[in-house]
Structure 1
């Protein structure tokens, strides 16, 4: 029997707090509802720097018959459409199919697993013929082309989302006014640019814990958290396997018994069955995932900092004295490299900063901590982060890793709030079939700059699991 979506899920609320998601900025009543009832309820399409929005239409006719010009072309590019598949697993499937190193396959960003998504990929070398013949039940390739350039990090504007929320607490007609008020407030003040739950693990929100343990050099504890810790949302078969593996510590036997769904755990267990070296076991994972897990601790600290700012009563999207400001590349877009310190209205450039905020061309930055972060450059967040680091018993030099295969965790910055572009709120269709409307369904369409999470915007509306 389906769970009543109006019931408050205290475990879920606790899990959100565990990853630093502690504050809402809208005061509209919770509307509940469920997302991803069906994968077609969550559609994500990349927006390229040119403004092109990739299509999720599975069109073989879009594939090119062009020749690969050796001497000019060095890459094969394509749109990868996937459903019920993790981005890294999709890349691993291509790696095996093409029999090439994973490092030759490039993409921008991890897209949702339980969704239909379209994103740009590139593969080094001439792979036109093989990719045109690629077939997989959950992955489809379109617009296969030869290219002089491959995908580069940051070569993306953002993502366009089409999302249906099912089983809201009241029929759409009764909550239409609330929806309009909510959309008006979101367009005015934005929402916290938190890292979403999927950044930490949707069913096992512990990547930040593993990342912290690795950064602290506690490799055995990191692997134990990765393999053994059971979380409430896990499948029973997976939970039972974890408990048995923890009790027996027989990794050769565990490798044979490991459920197929525990794809990454199997990699770690295989390494442990060969050699009981916990650091090597962690690095047996795809390097992109190793980096993702470690950097999720940076994401956790950022979430805590934004929540603490809001707890202190500081505004989300209006600057206060000591805020570091970035001018946006375009309206509601990503931060540029043009940065200023806001001095409370009395600074030499404060009037221009205030005008930029009025025109939605500026944002407030917070550090994403690393070993090179100078907190004194961010007076407001200097105080906030020092409190958090003291609570966490963590120092910035812990981010310095002596492992050449991993990222250089020197730190960066991130906008603390975001405004959606072209936000539209309507009544959803039943299973997306026109013309039948879902009486308790809400349809949202909007775009976000790269790195921002649609689920955080949905949290502001639903305010429940």
Structure 2
């Protein structure tokens, strides 16, 4: 076990590495082709008569954020972007392929789509749209360049064995905002009903490495709260911040309304990011007190393959230990929500303590759900992620190939190999 030396990881709860191997450092995503993601999806139920309402297409893209790509595709098709659905969001700075479904369009319509670094290929029709439940996982082909270590090959081999056993299933930095990780801070203010502070945080907090003029514009807004002045200085590509500011110029001090000018999914992501922050903090606390990732402790939640959950106690700890060792059950933490009942495990009690310190209760998630139009009931998440990794080392370049399940982050695996400043991983 090693403590991360990077303040940003510490602040986001990603406090430990469990692989004791020397970090190879290096740079991730030097080129888009260094981060290739192949979606692993459920088999699409095709319409035998090829008359299904949904056209299923394979979307291949490079350096495109998914939501933006979908909106551009919808614009060319002349339909609402809400007609397009998918199983999982993919990285922007990468080469990715995945299935999407588009309601009530023809194969001929798709031929009109010509966007740089986007390829859309019809593969069939279905009477069902693609949804989140259709995602089985993703296959990653990752290249890390400019590595440096006393023995890169030995370090990679040692980490391969460690990752196969299991590493902390942290939410990666992209969960909190790649360039400006503040989404969990915005979510905290929403949970506290401090919508003015949520706006100030989202619009006003600058970040390291941000363009100096943008950082100054953010600071000015924090200082004077003048939305008109901020609109004159913030770049047009910062569309969500500008949407909030436009609303405040039209309806001064309506901070709740201003927040609702951003897409509902993004609004809900703020609250979800706070839940993710709590999970990371709870997991790091569990590691800190010495509980291994591979063995349940009293009070832990365990999730079985059939979806059943149980709490580890004196009467079943031996059985739970055997089932976890055989891979038939997994140790989990619950990300808190309105229906959460925390166990007496050290990790979940730590999460409760953090919430109390922030002035947030489990009931806060219900009110946040009413404000965002989403539900935050809480959910369990495995504390560890493991994968057999195929690796290749050539001079100072390392290639990794592995698959992960839904909601698991490739950068969580990569950080155990690199142990580098997170800025080199985005």
Matched, 1:312 2:289: yes
**Offset at residue 380 of structure 1 (A):** 4.3
Distance 1:342 1:199 in 2: 30
Matched, 1:210 2:176: no
Q: Deviations over 1:160-209 (max 9, x none)?
A: 111111111137xx321221111112212x01111000000111010000
Q: 1:301 to 1:152 in 2, by over 3 A?
A: same
**3-state SS of 1:88 partner:** helix
Matches within 5 A, 1:11-410: 13-50=6-43, 69=51, 73-170=52-149, 174-188=151-165, 190-246=166-222, 249-252=225-228, 254-255=230-231, 257-276=233-252, 277-328=254-305, 336-344=306-314, 346-347=315-316, 350-351=318-319, 353-376=320-343, 379-401=345-367, 403=370, 406-410=373-377
2:301 and 2:333 in contact (8 A); partners too: yes
User: Superposition RMSD on alpha carbons, in Å?
Assistant: 2.5
1:131 and 1:144 in contact (8 A); partners too: no
Distance 1:127 1:266 in 2: 36
Q: Which runs of 5 or more residues in structure 2 are unaligned?
A: 422-426
With the length of structure 1 as denominator, give the TM-score of the two structures: 0.82
**Offset at residue 109 of structure 1 (A):** 2.8
Tell me whether 42-51 or 410-419 shows the greater mean CA deviation: 42-51
**3-state SS of 2:158 partner:** helix
Distance 1:457 1:231 in 2: 25
Q: Deviations over 1:334-381 (max 9, x none)?
A: xx412233335x42x843x334323323210110110100113x6444
Number of residues of Structure 1 aligned to a counterpart in Structure 2:
414
1:68 and 1:126 in contact (8 A); partners too: no
2:267 and 2:372 in contact (8 A); partners too: no
Counterpart residue number, 1:416: 383
Q: Which runs of 5 or more residues in structure 1 are unaligned?
A: 1-8, 52-63, 329-335, 428-436
1:343 and 1:350 in contact (8 A); partners too: no
Distance 1:111 1:449 in 2: 13
1:76 and 1:145 in contact (8 A); partners too: yes
Q: Deviations over 1:247-302 (max 9, x none)?
A: 56554564455324323223223333332321122111111111112211110111
Q: Deviations over 1:297-317 (max 9, x none)?
A: 110111110011111111112
Q: 1:119 to 1:75 in 2, by over 3 A?
A: same
**Offset at residue 151 of structure 1 (A):** 1.2
Counterpart residue number, 1:442: 398
With the length of structure 2 as denominator, give the TM-score of the two structures: 0.89
Q: 1:382 to 1:304 in 2, by over 3 A?
A: closer
